Chain A
């Protein structure tokens, strides 16, 4: 589904990755961990085609990402759901409009998807907040709304960047449960987190691989987690 081959990335003189390789097969569940500033978000941005690798190759759904034009990048993103750390909502739109944003930009008839929308809102437990605007939501509600937006187009891959970073333990568990449910539906899931408790909790429920960024490389974490 997604493959990184010898990918390198630097910010100025600071090298984040050096020739890392990674394969995310369809239906897999991965955690990406590492200390703050190790490059977890950057790696997710590379996978989401927000950034271009300075060296190496990224193949997304069988296509070389470097060869995609801007329209193809947009269409590829419609097949990837992402939960940003800061959620990235449009504050002037209601919660429903924000969740429906991928449908709107894909040119789909949002009104015709009303039943699906209601189901999705119920799934993330935000049915009562449908008319609220993002600033009116709590941190946990925003994260769940971001997850709903990420999956509304039924993407093949879901990326989540510190989805439990700003929420309490109960909400973390709830979000993790939703992500595990998505994986059981056949979606590939990659969660970037430094929350080891979350990783242990997930590993108890699902077969998850844990990848760790360390010293500019990507390692498969073992029993230390």
Chain B
């Protein structure tokens, strides 16, 4: 909680920053590391958002629906369909149920068996589409009733299909967060390394400042301000490049595979703009850590 006000105080110290000579190597290293990490971070964010969208699509397309498949001997199909519909009408948690027509079933099978399917000549089961209401229905109870009253009817509540898809989406989401975490840790390590190198190179400066009566906060501010601003500007460049790269990725539309659908939609475009600020906070904390550790070695 104290970090943000502290960050503001530390960043306001222009006088302190001037005490540290500008060194090209550490400046470039910090900016490059922050830029590269921000670039990767924006891609990880795009992955995260895309995963969320896919997970939501999979969940919403398959959720709240179920199917009853009726495989009845010749002449009994109509009776079993009627029996099933009657059962479904009386079952709590079902908003609607309807038997699919031959044309609809042919349309479903067309991708696998072709458009000229002679459905009447094939023992294709009749499908009854169920739309759930509220919290849904008791699948086990319904199965028992169907087994008793329509022996050819089998309830498929899509759980079997949805579970691995949702699990895969969750895994991808976790991978996205893991990538962001690793990138943040890598950036912290790089900035800490650069700050430690700068602090080592400026050991005499730190000593002179302390001997001139500087408090630790002043010395820390001298370094944190510079490294925070460097990390912020490097990350801003990296984030802008990454956003441009994500923006020009082809969007093949709704039929696209998951990976070609990588990108941001609408308000999601604001999320990468937080990356440079996050990089600044990471740089601030890691430089502060390095500077405090260095100061411990002198009185």
Contacts and interface: CB of A to CB of B under 8 A. Distances in A.
Contacts of B212: 77, 101-102, 105, 149
Contacts, number: 62
A104 B209 CA distance: 10
B299 A90 contact: no
Interface residues of A, number: 30
A73 interface: yes
Interface string B140-170: 0000000000000000000000000000000
Given A71-B215, A91-B21, 20 more contacts: A50-B211, A50-B299, A52-B299, A70-B215, A71-B216, A74-B210, A77-B211, A88-B204, A88-B211, A89-B208, A90-B19, A90-B21, A90-B208, A102-B213, A104-B15, A104-B16, A105-B214, A105-B218, A107-B218, A110-B15
A117 B274 CA distance: 45
Contacts of A74: 210, 213-216
Contacts of A52: 299
Nearest to B21: A92
B205 interface: yes
Interface in A14-65: 48-52
A59 to B, nearest CB: 17
Decide if the interface of chain B is mainly helix, strand, loop or mixed. Answer: helix
B211 A78 contact: no
A50 B207 CA distance: 10
A80 B15 CA distance: 22
B208 A101 contact: yes
Nearest to B208: A88
Assign chain B's interface to a size class: 20 to 34
Contact of B209 (A75, A91, A105, A110): A105
Interface of B: 15-16, 18-19, 21-22, 204-205, 207-216, 218, 295, 299
A168 to B, nearest CB: 26
Contacts of A90: 19, 21, 205, 208
Nearest to B222: A105
A153 interface: yes
Contacts of A105: 209, 212-215, 218
16 contacts: A48-B211, A51-B299, A52-B299, A71-B215, A74-B210, A77-B212, A82-B211, A92-B21, A93-B19, A101-B212, A102-B213, A104-B16, A104-B19, A105-B212, A105-B218, A106-B213
A153 to B, nearest CB: 7
Nearest to B219: A105
